[in-house]
Structure 1
């Protein structure tokens, strides 16, 4: 997808844990590209990720890859799913996840992070 969009400036990802209209989980597997797509190197300025959880290995790998290879990234917004009341252990886990995400070595020094709950 990224190779087919060489001038992409805004990338919006929505909950990678998707289901078909029949309720079956859609299988997806992240495969890191052999070469960094042109849009990441020269054009992408904004990433918006809705429903980000960092839990599945694929989500962590995709987010890290994008942050490490996007040279012109100005804003990265990660919206996480709400935590149910009484689940304090999940709140601590989420804080550690967001701290880890914020410390990923980024290609862009001017990237502004936004973390929010849906």
Structure 2
């Protein structure tokens, strides 16, 4: 998709419920592209991820890849789902993941991070 959108300026990912009836996630595994898409190198300015779960390793890999390779990124927003009171252990894991993303070496020095809960 990114290779077919060389002038893409805003990338918005929305985590829709991709679970089967048995609770197993369906879909494809993340495979890092061999070449960085042109839109990341030259045009993407805004990256938004709504409903990020912070549970899957590939979610972190995707976010890290975009941050490391997007030279003109001005704003990266990660909007997470709220954590129920019974699952507060997830809060510490989420905080560590946010800290890791905030410390990723980024291609754009002017990128402003926004972390919010929906």
SS of the equivalent of 1:79 reads strand
Q: State the match for 1:68 in structure 2.
A: 68
Q: How far does residue 82 in structure 1 lie from its aligned partner after superposition?
A: 0.6
Q: How far does residue 16 in structure 1 lie from its aligned partner after superposition?
A: 6.0
Aligned positions of 1:11-50 closer than 5 A: 11-15=11-15, 18-19=18-19, 25-50=25-50
Deviations 1:84-114 (A, max 9, x none): 0243322222111111110111000000000
In the superposition, relative to structure 1, how do residues 99 and 83 fare at CA in structure 2: closer, same or farther (>3 Å)?
same
Deviations 1:40-63 (A, max 9, x none): 000000000011123212111110
Q: Which stretches in structure 1 are left out of the alignment for 5+ residues?
A: none
SS of the equivalent of 1:82 reads coil
- What is the alpha-carbon root mean square deviation over aligned residues? 1.8
Aligned residues: 116
Q: State the match for 1:2 in structure 2.
A: 2
Aligned positions of 1:62-101 closer than 5 A: 62-101=62-101
Q: Output the TM-score relative to the length of structure 2.
A: 0.89
